[in-house]
């Protein structure tokens, strides 16, 4: 099992450019998440998908869109990148184990917007 | 205002020392999780505590959930360089979404 994979690992964009961050999981989990991590701010939820075909906004959704392509894949799109979107982006999936939810994270995408 | 306050924010210690980090809130939670994030990686779940007063041990790591289920602590005995990383507490809120604390960054040197 590869777990949760993310591509690319690093990306530099200019202001106004667009890009899609890819995420896939091979654990057959229903729920998937996108977070951003900034110094001193911890992990903040951007969007999540409780199951295939559904998506919902998290704490900081402005400037992003998502697509739950199928059960395995959940992508995050920046339509017009801004310097404020410079961050590390993590994708995660979740399972229910022993009555508790457990999240599994990918290795992250480090995005710089100049 | 952060739902979860973690302290200290930074901790630098030498190998072999003991340490405790804290996760505090004014809210009551049904469960609380601790994650460790190593440099350049995503967070990895260490433990889930669900009962007030519960103590769980994971090798040299001891996790405790407060009696009132508002706070938690993580104690590391005889820290090693491999313990270096960002320690995050997290709780499940509405719509089963996780909320994270801002973390304690631990550096263990030889």
For residues B62 and A96, the model is more confident at B62
Q: Is the pLDDT of residue A1 over 80?
A: no
Cα B50 to Cα A87: distance, rounded to the nearest angstrom: 32
Least confident of A12-16, A41-45, B70-74, B102-106: A41-45
Helix, strand, or coil (residue B95): helix
- The strand ranges marked E within A39-86 are 42-49, 56-57, 64-68, 74-78
**Where is A88: in which H helix or E strand?**
strand A87-97
Q: Is the pLDDT of residue A40 over 90?
A: no
In this complex, which of A42, A45, A106 lies closest to B97 when CB atoms are compared? A45
Percent of chain A with pLDDT over 90: 87
pLDDT at A39: 83
Of A71, A110, A104, which is closest to residue A88 (Cα–Cα)?
A110
Of A46, A4, A2, A114, which is closest to residue B42 (Cα–Cα)?
A4
For residues A70 and A2, the model is more confident at A70
pLDDT at A99: 82
Q: Is the pLDDT of residue A98 over 90?
A: no
Cα B98 to Cα B104: distance, rounded to the nearest angstrom: 18
CB-based contact B88 A103, cutoff 8 Å: no
Choose, out of A23, A41, A43, A50, the residue to mutate when testing the contact with B (most B CBs < 10 Å). A43
**Residue B76 in tokens:** 């590391």
Q: Which residues of chain B have pLDDT under 50?
A: none
CB-based contact A105 B48, cutoff 8 Å: no
- Phi/psi of residue B82, nearest 5 degrees: -70, -10
pLDDT at B3: 84
Q: Yes or no: say if A89 and A8 are a contact pair by the CB < 8 Å rule.
A: no
Mean pLDDT of chain A: 94
In this complex, which of B42, B88, B98 lies closest to A108 when CB atoms are compared? B42
Cα A93 to Cα A23: distance, rounded to the nearest angstrom: 10
pLDDT band at A100 (very low <50, low <70, confident <90, very high): confident
Burial of B73 (0-12, 13-18, 19+ CB in 10 A): middle
Sign (positive/negative) of CA torsion A109, A110, B1, B4? positive
Q: Is the pLDDT of residue A25 over 90?
A: yes
């Amino acid at each position: 099992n590869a777990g949760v994979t993310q591509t690319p690992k690093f990306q530099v964009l200019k202001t106004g450019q667009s890009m899609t961050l890819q995420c896939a999981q091979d654990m057959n989990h229903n729920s998937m998440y996108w977070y951003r991590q900034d110094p001193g701010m911890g992990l903040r939820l951007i969007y999540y998908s409780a199951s295939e075909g559904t998506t919902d906004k998290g704490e900081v959704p402005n400037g992003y869109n998502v697509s739950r392509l199928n059960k395995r894949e959940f992508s995050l799109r920046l339509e017009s990148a801004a310097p404020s979107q410079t961050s590390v982006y993590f994708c995660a999936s979740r399972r229910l184990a022993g009555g508790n939810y457990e999240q599994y994270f990918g290795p992250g995408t480090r995005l710089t917007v100049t | 205002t952060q739902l979860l306050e973690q302290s200290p924010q930074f901790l630098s210690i030498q190998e072999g020392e003991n340490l405790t980090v804290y996760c505090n809130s004014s809210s009551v939670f049904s469960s609380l999780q601790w994650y460790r994030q190593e440099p350049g990686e995503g967070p990895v779940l260490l433990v889930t505590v669900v009962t007030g007063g519960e103590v769980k041990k994971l090798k040299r790591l001891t996790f405790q959930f407060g009696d009132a289920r508002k706070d938690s602590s993580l104690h590391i005995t005889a820290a090693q360089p491999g313990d270096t990383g960002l320690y995050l507490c997290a709780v499940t809120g509405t719509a089963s979404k996780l909320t994270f604390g801002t973390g304690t960054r631990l550096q263990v040197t030889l």
